[in-house]
Amino acid sequence: ESGPVEHHPPFSDPSHSAAVRSPKPRAAQPPRPAAAATHPPQNPHLPAHVSLRAAGRPPPREPAQSSPPRPLTVLHTRSPRLSMSTSSRPRATPLAAAGGSGAAPSLLAADPGHRDSVILAARGAMTNCLGETHLDLVVPGLRLAAKGKVRDVYESGEHLVLVTTDRQSAFDRVLASIPFKGQVLNETSLWWFNRTSHITPNAVVSSPDRNVTIAKRCSVFPVEFVVRGFVTGSTDTSLWTVYNKGVRNYCGNAIPDGMVKNQKLPANILTPTTKAADHDVPITPDEIVKSGLMSKDDFDEARSKALSLFEYGQ
């Protein structure tokens, strides 16, 4: 019988070398059949309506029929979620295992089961953003009226359909999409509309989907009513920016000397603006009336409502 075969590196002491038995050749194994492609199961850690939001891009619209399109049916009760196309953002790569410093990594590392659940939920949510809507392709009688950085506005007869997407806007551009951001924005607006209806009526008719508000078509005054309670801000039209440059009368409001950033004003003030080509322009009440943007009665009523709404939210 053959014994162990010892291999000694050159110029080494044989007493410190390890005996290595030559391995026997292994018989070749037949190739395994390829596994059939399967779809991963629905993640139990995500809300049930997630799969509806990831319905994909709707099919192309069929050629128009000779008969006129049906008007949009306005729903007054909440219905199942609309199927809207998702953004084309590529699927995220798996998250790295928790580690390092910080409260969140330590918490996840302490419970591997919880960590895996969080990772699965995050991976599923990152590809479940409502980036595009295209409702005009699937809802008869609906026409795209405007596409903003965050909201898509459709019109049908006397109503508007406002869809708040998950698009994240900053610096006048869309940077990314955040899962369920649109739902949070839309439902926050609905919450405030409901809470302030005793101060002023609003245009909300219904909300058939968590990202959708159906509203009455209204005539819009081309003036934005900005109410301020503090000397703060960082934009070109913010109160602190103009105050720090020496301005003491802003949009018809006299502001006392000696104030510092983030200081509370003696009383809330209205600083209206109007739109230029690509930015807001501060304007005084007299200029609004003289330019015909609003009548004096309309401005006085809107001013009173704006100040009351701001005070209610403080």
* Confidence at residue 88, expressed as pLDDT on a 0 to 100 scale: 38
Both 296 and 237 in a single domain?
yes
pLDDT at 291 over 90: yes
- CATH number of the domain where residue 308 is located: 3.30.470.20
* Confidence at residue 89, expressed as pLDDT on a 0 to 100 scale: 38
* 174 within a domain of the structure (yes/no): yes
Read off φ and ψ for residue 167, nearest 5 degrees. Answer: -65, 135
Both 154 and 186 in a single domain?
yes
Mean pLDDT of 262-271: 97
Both 242 and 169 in a single domain?
no
* 105 within a domain of the structure (yes/no): no
Report the domain count for the chain. Answer: 2
Both 242 and 196 in a single domain?
no
Both 258 and 212 in a single domain?
no
Residues of the chain with pLDDT > 90, as a percent, come to 48
* Confidence at residue 98, expressed as pLDDT on a 0 to 100 scale: 36
12: which 2 tokens?
């080494």
- CATH number of the domain where residue 210 is located: 3.30.200.20
* 13 within a domain of the structure (yes/no): no
* 293 within a domain of the structure (yes/no): yes
* Confidence at residue 120, expressed as pLDDT on a 0 to 100 scale: 82
Both 185 and 241 in a single domain?
no
Both 135 and 207 in a single domain?
yes
* 187 within a domain of the structure (yes/no): yes
Both 245 and 201 in a single domain?
no
Choose the most confident range, by mean pLDDT, from 14-18, 193-197, 278-282: 193-197
Spatial contact of 190 and 213, defined as CB atoms under 8 Å apart? yes
Cβ neighbour number for residue 133 with a 10 Å cutoff: 24
Both 208 and 137 in a single domain?
yes
Choose the most confident range, by mean pLDDT, from 44-53, 116-125, 173-182: 173-182
* 117 within a domain of the structure (yes/no): no
Mean pLDDT of 116-130: 79
Neighbouring C-alpha atoms within 13 Å toward the C-beta of 253: 23
Neighbouring C-alpha atoms within 13 Å toward the C-beta of 161: 24
* Confidence at residue 242, expressed as pLDDT on a 0 to 100 scale: 96
* 114 within a domain of the structure (yes/no): no
* 307 within a domain of the structure (yes/no): yes
Q: Say how far apart CA 90 and CA 129 lie, in whole Å.
A: 11
Could you please report the per-residue DSSP string of 65-98?
Answer: PSSPPPPPPPPSS--SPP--PPP-PPPPPPPPPP
Per the structure, the complete domain to which residue 184 belongs is given by 127-216
Both 211 and 241 in a single domain?
no
CA distances to 118, 176, 301 from 254, rounded to whole Å, are: 53, 41, 21
User: Of 193, 216, 239, which closes a domain?
Assistant: 216
Nearest to 152 by CA among 202, 200, 197, 87: 87
Spatial contact of 6 and 17, defined as CB atoms under 8 Å apart? yes
268: which 2 tokens?
């809330």
pTM value? 0.58
User: Of 216, 244, 278, which closes a domain?
Assistant: 216
* Confidence at residue 173, expressed as pLDDT on a 0 to 100 scale: 80
Q: What is the DSSP letter of 15?
A: G
**Does residue 27 or residue 173 have the better pLDDT?**
173
* Confidence at residue 115, expressed as pLDDT on a 0 to 100 scale: 80
User: Of 216, 236, 259, which closes a domain?
Assistant: 216
Both 237 and 205 in a single domain?
no
Confidence tier at 30 by pLDDT (50, 70, 90): low
Give per-residue pLDDT as tens, 186-244: 999 999 999 999 999 999 999 999 999 999 999 989 999 999 999 999 988 899 999 99
Give per-residue pLDDT as tens, 54-106: 444 444 444 445 444 444 444 433 333 444 443 433 333 333 333 344 444 55
Residues 70-89 as b or e (16 or more Cβ within 10 Å = b): eebeeeeeeeebbebbbbee
